[in-house]
Amino acid sequence: MKLTKQRIKQLSDFCDRVGIKFKSMEMLDQAFHHRSLTNEMQGVKNNERLEFLGDSVLGMVTASYLYKKLDNPEGDLAKIKSQVVSEKALAPVALKFGIDKLLLLGHGEEMSGGRTKPAILADCMEAIIGAYYLDAGYKPAEKYVLSFIIPAVDELFSQGIKDFKTQLQEKFQKKTKQCPRYELVAKTGPDHDQTFKVCVHLGEKVFGPAEAKSKKEAEQIAAKLALDNYEF
């Protein structure tokens, strides 16, 4: 499908608005092609393959960011990740970026309100990520993803999500004016597959040992034990 000057202008304006640069406007345009369009127009590619790729890039960037930023156990990281990359989280970002206005839909989907359906908007967000990864590489795609993932993570934390070590320190300091003390009591296994056992001391009380594959995660588990069992 040949791009008109008007369409190229719309796509360029979108790039300027969200801070990305595409060498191939055709690649970006494809990211906006819903499958309902290709069902009605022969020879037009839809965005489903780009969505598949973008979903993986989005997951990788988000997981890496959370791993570096937080000390939380794997279960917490997975929960946070699932929230910030969900359809519920991505659809409002898509509307903010004006993606709804650029979608190309089949007549039936257009008439049924597809332009504002959260699933279609979220899928298009992922397709754009996939297209940008192919067009510009991982680093620019990562920068784009973080532009909306970091605010989403910060928003979750502003609503009260804190890692267990932070929660424990705040509560224990408020009660005693002291800090929790973490003790590595054992480290076993070969270098490539170690297991760490950690206790946390709250004054004279000791909680643990908690066991995990990293010292950070063992500390988080010990902190959770203390939070659940210490009388604040």
The CA distance from 116 to 134, in Å, is 26
- At residue 30, the pLDDT reads 96
Residues in the chain with pLDDT values less than 50: none
For the segment 36-83, what is each residue's pLDDT rounded down to a tens digit?
A: 998 888 778 999 999 999 999 999 999 999 999 887 778 888 989 999
Sequence-ordered list of residues with C-beta below 8 angstroms from that of 194, at least 6 positions apart, any chain:
187, 188, 213
Active-site choice (51, 71, 123, 126)? 126
- At residue 161, the pLDDT reads 67
The dihedral over CA atoms of 154, 20, 5, 27, expressed in degrees to the nearest 10, equals -100
- At residue 217, the pLDDT reads 81
55 in catalytic set: yes
- Side by side, which strands form the sheet with 205-212? 181-188, 195-202, 205-212
H-state helical runs in 97-230? 99-102, 107-111, 118-136, 138-158, 164-176, 215-229
The CA distance from 190 to 171, in Å, is 36
- At residue 104, the pLDDT reads 94
- Beta strands at 205-212 and 181-188: parallel, antiparallel or unpaired: unpaired
Sequence-ordered list of residues with C-beta below 8 angstroms from that of 185, at least 6 positions apart, any chain:
197, 198, 199, 208, 209
The CA distance from 168 to 111, in Å, is 53
3-state secondary structure of 201: strand
87 in catalytic set: no
- At residue 22, the pLDDT reads 97
Q: Give the residues across from 1 on adjacent strands.
A: none
